[in-house]
Amino acid sequence: MCEVMPVKPGFVPGLRAEVEATVDAGMQAAFDGRVIHPLYSTWSLVHHLEHAARRVLEPYLEPHEEGVGYAVEVRHLAPTPVGARVRAVAVLEAVEGNRVICRVEAYNDLEKIAEGRQVQVVLERDAFRRRIEALQQRLARQDSPAP
């Protein structure tokens, strides 16, 4: 696995990417098929923040590399209703070894609704795929009925 991501031209702190979305019914806070609040859910918020962070990293990945989510820390500061627009922003803060650290924030048309950090790790693509295949095989063996 890749331990240190080589420095790539343009991949420097301050690099920024955004994702925009309009909150729809499928993004509401819901559990067990029941809408708890008719508002933008935290899980949808985190999805959009991670998507923005992926957009920061992806153009700089080499064909033999893969970026994988490692950590997310988000404070959901304000509610956003269905129909409102959301803008998720990720800004590259640092690269530490193979960890890519982004500051993330989200806004609706009125205010900042979230802030935090998101970390991805850069791995060797083939090694990562082998790890996934091994995991899938282990799970398949676990699911097979005993003789």
> Is 62 one of the annotated active-site residues of the chain?
no
* Selected catalytic residue, list 50, 66, 93, 105: 50
> Is 76 one of the annotated active-site residues of the chain?
yes
* Selected catalytic residue, list 22, 37, 42, 73: 42
* Selected catalytic residue, list 47, 51, 65, 76: 76
> Is 50 one of the annotated active-site residues of the chain?
yes
DSSP string, the chain: ---SPPP-TT--TT-EEEEEEE--GGGEEEETTEEEEEEE-HHHHHHHHHHHHHHHHGGG--TTEEEEEEEEEEEE-S--BTT-EEEEEEEEEEEETTEEEEEEEEE-SSSEEEEEEEEEEEEEHHHHHHHHHHHHHHHHHHHSPP-
User: Which residues are catalytic, by number?
Assistant: 42, 50, 76
